[in-house]
């Protein structure tokens, strides 16, 4: 009986050790998840607590969480938003119906927007997609240049000026008042970027090589960004710019739908 008793005690000790190990792993995993959530600026505890009590989370509890999750979804989606447009240009080897100025100004606008958000130290979920959009916008400009007529001297000068001035803007080595002025002008830049394309579509009664999918994602993303910007108390000037983006993207989207049927 003694060997059996020792074996039983050993089994109990092993079971207890296993339970403690599993508990430690659960605590470690939970701590790691909490650190990740803190890093991302997400606090789901309020919503989870309400659901555990059989209650629907209150608006003040749910909206910030939705805003954060939506913000990170937009960041993820922004990695591919302009790829359909790039793909369409490369496949067709044509920029027919596309406004070169629209793509150039858009790249400048994203540059200023990203630099300003970094300067204001806004949470990554509120502006993260701008970085990916800027990269894709620069690729688009390169594609437009490549498939356009032989480049003029002025085009090379514009490209050189951009790459000379962009580092200064990103590092914030400019006067704060000038920075604010640049950001305020960003809204005009984006508006100016879309108006030539809108006018070209209207004049040609065609949207040429514009990608339906890219334009649809641009519209959906700008609409969602209105909500997330309100939730993080983004500057009013930023909100105005996003509303203008919704308006102009909506016009371009309606043109695609209208001229497709003709």
b/e burial code for range 23-50 (CB count within 10 A of at least 16 → b): eeeeeeeeeeeeeeeeeeebeeeebeee
Is the Cα torsion angle 183, 151, 212, 72 positive or negative in sign?
negative
CA–CA dist 6, 47 (Å, integer): 49
User: Six-digit token pair at 199?
Assistant: 């006018």
Query: What DSSP string runs through 242-256?
Result: HHHHHHHHHHHHHHH
Per-residue pLDDT, 28: 46
Highest mean pLDDT among 65-74, 108-117, 168-177: 108-117
pTM: 0.70
Contact criterion met (CB below 8 Å) for 201 and 252: yes
b/e burial code for range 110-127 (CB count within 10 A of at least 16 → b): bbbbbbbbbbeebebbbb
pLDDT digits (tens, 9 = 90+) for 149-208: 787 888 889 999 999 989 888 887 888 888 888 888 887 888 888 999 999 999 999 998
Contact criterion met (CB below 8 Å) for 97 and 66: no
Radius of gyration of the chain (CA): 26
Contact criterion met (CB below 8 Å) for 248 and 195: yes
Q: What is the DSSP letter of 44?
A: -
Domain boundaries, the chain: 2-40, 74-260
Listed residue (253, 210, 247, 230) closest to 85, CA to CA: 210
Q: In the structure, what pLDDT confidence band is assigned to residue 262 with cuts at 50, 70 and 90?
A: low
Listed residue (194, 242, 236) closest to 222, CA to CA: 242
Please provide the distance, in angstroms rounded to a whole number, between the alpha carbons at the two ends of the chain. 93
């Amino acid at each position: 009986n003694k060997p059996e008793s020792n074996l039983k005690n050993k089994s109990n000790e092993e079971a207890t050790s296993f339970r403690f190990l599993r508990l430690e792993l659960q605590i470690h995993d939970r701590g790691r998840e909490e650190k990740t959530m803190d890093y991302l600026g997400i606090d789901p505890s309020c919503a989870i607590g309400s659901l555990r009590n059989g209650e629907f989370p209150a608006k003040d509890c749910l909206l910030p969480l939705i805003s954060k999750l939506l913000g990170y979804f937009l960041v993820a989606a922004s990695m591919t938003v302009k790829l359909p447009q790039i793909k369409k240009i490369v496949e067709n080897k044509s920029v027919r119906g596309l406004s070169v100025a629209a793509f150039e100004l858009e790249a400048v606008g994203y540059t200023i927007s990203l630099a300003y958000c970094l300067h204001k130290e806004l949470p990554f979920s509120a502006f993260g997609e701008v970085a990916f959009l800027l990269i894709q916008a620069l690729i688009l400009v390169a594609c437009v240049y490549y498939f356009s007529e032989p480049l003029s001297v002025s085009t090379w000068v514009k490209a050189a000026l951009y790459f000379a001035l962009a580092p200064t803007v990103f590092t914030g080595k400019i006067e704060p008042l000038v920075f604010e002025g640049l950001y305020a002008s960003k809204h005009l830049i984006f508006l100016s970027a879309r108006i030539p394309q809108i006018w070209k579509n209207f004049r040609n009664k065609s949207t040429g090589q514009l990608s339906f999918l890219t334009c649809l994602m641009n519209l959906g993303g700008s609409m969602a960004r209105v909500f997330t910007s309100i939730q993080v108390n983004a500057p009013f000037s930023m909100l105005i710019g996003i509303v203008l983006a919704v308006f102009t993207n909506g016009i371009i989207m309606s043109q695609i739908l209208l001229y497709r049927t003709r």
